[in-house]
Chains A and B, each alone.
Chain A
Amino acid sequence: MRRVLFRGTLFVVVLAALWGLWEGYRWLWMREAWTWPFRVDSTSMPHLHSIFGALWSSARPGGVGPRLITILFHAALFTAKEAAVGFALGAVLGFVLGALLAHFQILARGFLPWVVASQTVPILVVAPMVVVWLNPKLPGRFQDWGAVAVIAAYLTFFPVTINTIRGLRSADRRALELMRSYAAGNWRILWKLRFPAALPYIFAALKISATASVVGAIIGELPSSIQDGLGGQIINYSQYYTTQPTGLWATNVVAAALGITFFLAVLITEKLVVRRAPENVA
């Protein structure tokens, strides 16, 4: 109990310190009119309270229309849908691929280097081509956002594949021999021993992938001219940045919140599923 209280206090103190750092930097640089590394003014670094204030005021100047937070909340829900579908797709794909590569050494030798190399592809610049190519092939329900989910899946699968391989191979050798002594087949060994042993590794990867899927969904929206998600809002507010900088900042705050929400969702699932001593896995 005292520890929770201590941690809570610490959290608040650090939060206040970070706030102070931002405002202090702003104040000092503006007072001294320093221009390195960049000129500080209300456009480049708005007051934090005005960023959060913008969330609660009307999106359009003049005070008519819905609040910004309402608009961004709906955009976040849309992006969350893309990210969640992409996350599920990428996680399943990543696990199956990882299981195959872990089981067949020769496949791992042949494909693993290219799986790693695939991550150097700057997906955002490939995204428009994926969207243009994939969209006509998708059924009506998945039009537009389905292609974005595929991009999110692409960013998701990689950590899952790598950690599935490591996890499945991490099963204790003596435990394996014990299973063999029970005359268990390969499938039984996979589900009863290797998979549970791999779970902490897989969750470590899913935590990375959770964020990656949100990144994938946002950048997938940018070139697809999808207006309904956070990516569309980022494009939108970056055009009005010089007149209304708080809009873009507020959108980024919501995007950050979405990323953290996805991360926390995986974290909580992990706590529920892996009821063992936490292991030190990357």
Chain B
Amino acid sequence: MSALGRRIVAWLPAVVVLVGVIALWEGLIRAFDVQAFLLPKPSEIARTLWDTRHELWTAGWFTFQEALGGFLLGSGLAILVALVLARWRILGMALLPFAIAANAIPIIAFAPITNTWFSPLNKSSKIVIAAILCFFPVLVNTLRGLTSVNPRALELMHSYAAGQAEIFRRVRIPTALPFIFTGLKVATVLAMIGAVVGEYFGGALNALGVLILTRARVFQFDEAWAGIVVACLLGLVLYVAVAIVERLTLRWLPSTSE
């Protein structure tokens, strides 16, 4: 079977489930004439998606920029900090308990505070929340990757009289890459959620989170759901983008090449 054929077969069950669930949902609401103001029919959501596409696109793009900014800022900082902590192990040992504790903090609760740091209308307030949400999973994963190097591989580098910088560049960072991507993929989803939820505590009128909230308040649930679908799709876009970069970067792994 061709590679394409195999891929289609691999994804077939997922498509069947999606189609099945949507058909069941639509069918149940039609058949039992459920009062469907909370969970509208998929067809209705689809129509609303199309009808309000310009508004949704503007709002989605606005929020996506916040998420992307937060993702880049938070992940970038996390990787830098992980490099420092891996280079000077005593620092890593000292700070790790605090990183773990910080990871257990409901960071979203800080959204009202970042909203007062910047104006709620300012993108920065959401970027900061998204960045903090992204920071810890990337930090913890990167640090684990940088420190899980085969000791023999290090001895080999010593035998070549390689310095610390060479060891980081040629051994530690390549070893850590799969771990880093695991962290980044978690972070993509968190970035989008952070941005949308940040807007929930107050944001610009043309932001996606605000759009969903205001529509839900006036019981226009089809429009609210259309907004939620857009939020999910944008989260997926970021996730898939990182996954593609991962595939291109990690060609050496048996599982990523065909």
Contact = CB atoms under 8 A, between A and B. Distances in A.
User: Do A and B assemble together?
Assistant: yes
Interface of A: 10-11, 13-14, 18, 37-38, 43-44, 106-107, 109-114, 117, 119-126, 128-129, 132-133, 210-211, 214-215, 218-219, 222, 230, 234, 238, 241-242, 245, 248-249, 251-252, 255-256, 258-260, 262-263, 280, 282
Contact of B106 (A37, A125, A215): A215
A280 B209 contact: no
A240 to B, nearest CB: 11
Task: Classify the secondary structure of B's interface with A.
Answer: helix
A259 to B, nearest CB: 4
Contacts of B141: 282
Contacts of A262: 104
Contacts of A211: 103-106
5 contacts: A109-B12, A125-B228, A211-B103, A215-B107, A218-B106
Contact of B113 (A37, A249, A260): A249
Interface in B212-258: 212-213, 216, 221, 224, 227-228, 231-232, 235-236, 239
A10 B93 CA distance: 9
A37 B127 CA distance: 12
A219 B110 CA distance: 11
Contact of A256 (B18, B38, B105, B115): B105
A210 to B, nearest CB: 7
A129 B201 contact: no
Nearest to B179: A282
A218 B38 contact: no
Q: Which one of A111, A117, A123, A133 has the highest number of Cβ atoms from chain B below 10 Å of its Cβ?
A: A117
A18 B98 contact: yes
Contact of A125 (B11, B21, B189, B196): B196
Contacts of B175: none
Interface string B15-31: 01110010000000000
A117 B228 contact: no
A222 B141 CA distance: 31
A128 B212 CA distance: 11
Contacts of A126: 228
Nearest to B213: A125
B42 to A, nearest CB: 14
A34 B75 CA distance: 26
Given A11-B97, A120-B193, A129-B221, 15 more contacts: A37-B117, A37-B124, A38-B117, A110-B17, A113-B14, A120-B235, A121-B228, A122-B232, A123-B193, A214-B106, A219-B108, A234-B112, A252-B109, A252-B113, A259-B105
B159 interface: no
Contacts of B209: 122, 125
Given A129-B38, A129-B221, A129-B224, A110 B16 contact: yes
A227 B179 CA distance: 41
A32 B190 CA distance: 35
A150 to B, nearest CB: 14
A132 to B, nearest CB: 7
Given A114-B14, A120-B235, A120-B236, A133 B38 contact: yes
A260 B94 contact: no
B118 A259 contact: no
B5 to A, nearest CB: 16
Nearest to A123: B193
A110 B20 CA distance: 11
A117 B196 contact: no
Q: Which one of B14, B16, B97, B224 has the highest number of Cβ atoms from chain A below 10 Å of its Cβ?
A: B14
B182 interface: yes
B95 interface: yes
**Which 8 A-B pairs give the minimum distances between C-beta atoms?**
A120-B235, A110-B13, A238-B112, A109-B13, A263-B104, A110-B17, A256-B105, A122-B196
B204 to A, nearest CB: 16
B113 to A, nearest CB: 6
Contact of A14 (B11, B21, B95, B231): B95
Nearest to B14: A113
B122 to A, nearest CB: 9
Interface string B145-168: 000100000000000000000000
Nearest to A11: B97
B13 to A, nearest CB: 4
A134 to B, nearest CB: 10
A129 B16 contact: no
A124 B12 CA distance: 32
B82 interface: no
Nearest to B114: A38
Contacts of A251: 109
Q: Which one of B100, B113, B118 has the highest number of Cβ atoms from chain A below 10 Å of its Cβ?
A: B113
Nearest to A40: B117
Contact of A255 (B106, B124, B212, B227): B106
Given A10-B93, A133-B38, A260-B101, A252 B216 contact: no
